[in-house]
Structure 1
Amino acid sequence: MRIDAHQHFWQFDPVRDAWIDDSMQVIRRDFLPADLAPLLEEKGVDGCVAVQADQSLDETRFLLNLAEENDWIKAVVGWFDLKAEDLEAQLDHFLDHKKLVGARHILEAEPHGFMSSPDFVSGVKKLARRGMTYDILSRESQLEEVNLLLHKLPEMKLVVDHMSKPKIKEASFDHWAKQMIEVAAHDHVTLKLSGLVTEADWSNWKKEDFIPYLDFCLDHFGPDRLMYGSDWPVCLLAGSYAQVHDLIQGYISTLSESEQAKIMGGTAAQFYGLSLY
């Protein structure tokens, strides 16, 4: 099974989606399953994992409704207020939704100390007790705190989105790599090969820009802990779905068929439990 482990849907709202500013005109519109389906089919991708882009329970409901209507949306990573006193009640409300596999918070927008705070960690642990996963959305500058968080969650299924956004446009590598070595030392943590093109020069990137970062991830995580994600439609800021897919597929083309299969779907299927339904 070939799986795109990271993409988004939205009905554009200029107030709610204010992060999509005037420099991002290409994604200032609706993006729904009918837009993505032909792109997946063109590249032989069997399904996807829809990940939250807005921090509301309405977002979780919206994605789950789309997943119920489209079998190829294999799983949903939703949003919950992980610091809320009624978190258990929030989670109980979605008990019947089998495609809800995990949660994410936009940690990259939070101040230092947020992700390692006791109340946030407690909320993430409540997800773990229900067998849910957690997607860590962070930037390179937050990796020290990411590692603090990983130490507090020693057994939970965790995945770092977008390789924690290394500053590829600036060819920043050493600081990112030093911290990522520590991330990789946690065997229970996986990594999404996603969000690369938007961390590069949107108009002038070339595949060689990404090789040091991809080499590092392959060497330190291995195919069992890597998963392909397009980050569509955000990726459209810097490249088409086909370009993003082909960037990863081309990079791993020298690996064995089984190793390629893990990165292009097997790791995601195992991590998110996609074989369960």
Structure 2
Amino acid sequence: MIIDSHQHFWIYDPKRHDWIGDPIIQKDFTPEDLKKIYKENSVDGCVAVQADQTLGETDFLLDLASKNEFIKGVVGWIDLRTKNIDDTLQQYKDHKKLKGFRHIVQGEPDPNFLLRPEFTRGISKLETYDLCYDILVFPHQLGAVLEFVKQFPNQKFVIDHIAKPYIKDGFYDGWAILIKEIAKQENVFCKLSGMITEADFNTWTPTQITPYMELVLEAFGTSRLMYGSDWPVCLLAGSYSKVKDLVVNFVASLSDEEQQAIMGNNAIRFYNLK
């Protein structure tokens, strides 16, 4: 079974989605659009991930998931820093397709945002509800990530987009050192996603991206990597099939069991998908 562990839906709004600067993705992206693409690419299901930091976004994704069987799980957003975090988590505890939360930490000016007491207090509540946390950061924030994940050895974490290394500029070493350290924490997984948009949109090649994929494969192993498309953001640099083929071709030399793990089974296990 192939599970896309990372994709987005939105009804485009210029104010709410002001981070979307390219006309290619300045439009609506719905389950009907993705269903066709999945049929063409033999993808069985997905995890829908927040793109807007509101409770309305979480409710929007849960509503879509309730109406579309192929949306197996939702990674929503709540303000983990609020004093009434327990009340909010209780509010969502009966939503079976809610699998975790994410904050757009890459957009926070504070490099130590993840380590702030009000945020870590919220994170400390997630394990009780069997909820995962997606870590979205840039490479310069990985030092804080390392300290962060060490604080919560029993919390399930996943690094989105291999931590967005600066592939276009060829930067590698600093990112690689910290990724390897973070991967020593066995509760941390990593998504093979969002890579082509960190390279040059128009000139990237698999050869350019392969060293980064090799590093995370070495660091996390085949049991803690999962395929994700980052659709529709990926469309800035390539079609869905190009994104999928990039990962499929990379893992082709692995055993069938290892390929199946990365292409779907690890996501099923991490997010407890049904």
TM-score by length of 1: 0.97
1:237 corresponds in structure 2 to 236
Instruction: Check conservation: 2:112, 2:141, Cα contact below 8 A.
Output: no
- 1:162 and 2:158 equivalent? no
Which of 94, 97, 102 is the equivalent residue of 1:96? 94
- Which amino acid is 1:38 matched to? K
Q: Shift in Å at residue 93 of structure 1? A: 1.4
2:14 corresponds in structure 1 to 14
Distance 2:96 2:207 in 1: 40
Distance 1:218 1:91 in 2: 34
Superposition misfits of 4+ residues, deviation over 4 angstroms? none
> Equivalences for 1:43-82 in 2 at 5 Å?
43-82=41-80
Instruction: Check conservation: 2:93, 2:129, Cα contact below 8 A.
Output: no
Distance 2:215 2:94 in 1: 40
> Equivalences for 1:109-258 in 2 at 5 Å?
109-110=107-108, 111-258=110-257
Distance 2:269 2:86 in 1: 25
1:39 corresponds in structure 2 to 37
Aligned residues: 273
Structure 1 counterpart SS, 2:223: helix
Distance 2:127 2:169 in 1: 36
- Which amino acid is 1:12 matched to? Y
Identical residues among aligned pairs (%): 48
- Which amino acid is 1:27 matched to? I
Q: Which runs of 5+ in 1 are unaligned?
A: none
- Which amino acid is 1:87 matched to? I
Distance 2:20 2:253 in 1: 37
- Which amino acid is 1:207 matched to? P
State the superposition RMSD in angstroms: 0.7
Distance 1:222 1:41 in 2: 29
Q: Shift in Å at residue 236 of structure 1? A: 0.5
Structure 2 counterpart SS, 1:198: coil
Structure 2 counterpart SS, 1:223: coil
Q: Shift in Å at residue 125 of structure 1? A: 1.2
Instruction: Check conservation: 2:58, 2:76, Cα contact below 8 A.
Output: yes
